[in-house]
Amino acid sequence: MRILVTGACGYKGSVIVPKLLENGHQVLALDIQWFGQFLPENENLKIIQGDVREFDANLLNEIDAVIHLASVANDPCGDLDPKLTWEISALATMQLADLCARKGIKRFIYASSGSVYGVKEEEQVTEDLTLLPISEYNKTKMVAERVLLSYADQMTVQIVRPATVCGISPRMRLDVSVNMLTMQALKNGKITVFGGEQVRPNIHIDDIARLYMFLLDNPQVTGVYNAGFENLKIIEIANRIASKIPCEIEITPSNDPRSYRINSDKILSAGFSPMKSVDDAITEIIASYQRRDLMDEDRWYNLRWMERNMQKAGELEGSS
């Protein structure tokens, strides 16, 4: 299959694209590459440095499916420049969906977010609950979902609402909970937990990549799917890390008691099974750090990198 991947050089894309190649697909990778480019050389991979807001419709001429990952990723980055966030994460998605429909593209997989639900009191946050997003990032994801579902009569639309992703990627992120706390323990011998009772859903990066392969292989699995298999309190994550790395856990007060959790029974019932866990992610991060393959660098923190470079660049398109 010939697949266009937007945001292909991001944290998730840098793991998904190699798996697509391993599965025999041809990949056209589009990314502005603000955070760099870490994809492998491969005869079945073509990499284009480009802005999804200025998408060239001709790129779709020989494409069978689209995996749309490109967005300004996470709440703080979305709030840094709301106008830019809406242009990239909502408007560009609408334009791309319309182009795909006009070009006769029959497969469209979209990376939304489990955060579109906002804060829910329900223990089981399922796909049929009302969406109440509370940040620019969440809101753009909800709007993009609704736009894409309006094209469901013209192409197969598969929407993933992933939990917080954890684990090693060539384009690493150390600003997501499991990765960040593990790096704190490795570098400082100490984890700082704000509150700790807040619940966060998690998914290993290898499993989110495998989920995209599963959706490509199963076009009958349409609609919206949560993807997160471990709802853990922040203090539980810290304790798991401390069991693998001797470190101190400091708990400080937090004025943000919000908890996020999701139920992923729907995708499990469709036939997908996760293979990795938060514990696996922690172990892999430790091993990578000890090999000196992974260092604590500013480029692995989206907001830090954006704040440093936005003034110089004028504006930024991020990779999810």
pLDDT in tens, 300-309: 998 787 777 7
pLDDT at 303: 79
Predicted confidence band of residue 203 (pLDDT cuts 50, 70, 90): very high
pLDDT tens, position by position, 88-141: 999 999 999 999 999 999 999 999 999 999 888 898 999 999 999 888 889 999
pLDDT at 320: 46
CATH number at residue 152: 3.40.50.720
Predicted confidence band of residue 76 (pLDDT cuts 50, 70, 90): low
Tell whether the model's pLDDT for residue 74 goes beyond 90. Answer: no
CB-CB contact of 77 with 115 (8 Å): no
Q: Is residue 320 one of the residues assigned to a domain?
A: no
pLDDT at 319: 44
Strand 45-49's sheet: what is its strand order?
45-49, 26-31, 2-6, 65-68, 107-111, 156-162, 223-227
- CA 302 from chain center: how many Å? 12
Q: Is residue 47 one of the residues assigned to a domain?
A: yes
pLDDT at 318: 42
Average pLDDT on 4-17 reads 98
Q: Is residue 247 one of the residues assigned to a domain?
A: yes
Average pLDDT on 197-222 reads 97
Q: Is residue 144 one of the residues assigned to a domain?
A: yes
Least Cα distance to 211 among 151, 165, 152, 143 occurs for: 165
pLDDT at 316: 46
Q: Is residue 319 one of the residues assigned to a domain?
A: no
- 43's tokens: 């005869």
Q: Are strands 190-194 and 223-227 parallel, antiparallel or unpaired?
A: unpaired
Least Cα distance to 87 among 124, 51, 123, 134 occurs for: 51
Predicted confidence band of residue 268 (pLDDT cuts 50, 70, 90): very high
Q: Is residue 318 one of the residues assigned to a domain?
A: no
Q: What is the 3-state secondary structure (H, E, C) of the chain?
A: CEEEEECCCCCCHHHHHHHHHHCCCEEEEEECCCCCCCCCCCCCEEEEECCHHHCCHHHHCCCCEEEECCCCCCHHHHHHCHHHHHHHHHHHHHHHHHHHHHHCCCEEEEECCHHHHCCCCCCCCCCCCCCCCCCHHHHHHHHHHHHHHCCCCCCEEEEEEECEEECCCCCCCCCCHHHHHHHHHHHHCEEEEECCCCEEEEEEHHHHHHHHHHHHHCCCCCEEEEECCEEEEHHHHHHHHHCCCCCEEEEECCCCCCCCCCCCHHHHHCCCCCCCCHHHHHHHHHHHHHCCCCCCCHHHCHHHHHHHHHHHHCCCCCCC
Name the least confident of 129-138, 157-166, 263-272.
129-138
Report which of residues 123 and 214 the model is more confident about: 214
Q: Is residue 237 one of the residues assigned to a domain?
A: yes
Tell whether the model's pLDDT for residue 315 goes beyond 60. Answer: no
Tell whether the model's pLDDT for residue 311 goes beyond 70. Answer: no
Number of separate domains in the chain? 1
- CA 216 from chain center: how many Å? 17
Least Cα distance to 19 among 52, 35, 42 occurs for: 42
Give strand pairing partners of 108.
66, 157
Tell whether the model's pLDDT for residue 49 goes beyond 60. Answer: yes
Domain enclosing residue 149, as ranges: 2-313
Q: Could you tell me the CA-to-CA distances from 275 to 71, 89, 142, 204, 285 in Å, in that order?
A: 27, 30, 28, 9, 17
CB-CB contact of 125 with 263 (8 Å): yes
Tell whether the model's pLDDT for residue 11 goes beyond 90. Answer: yes
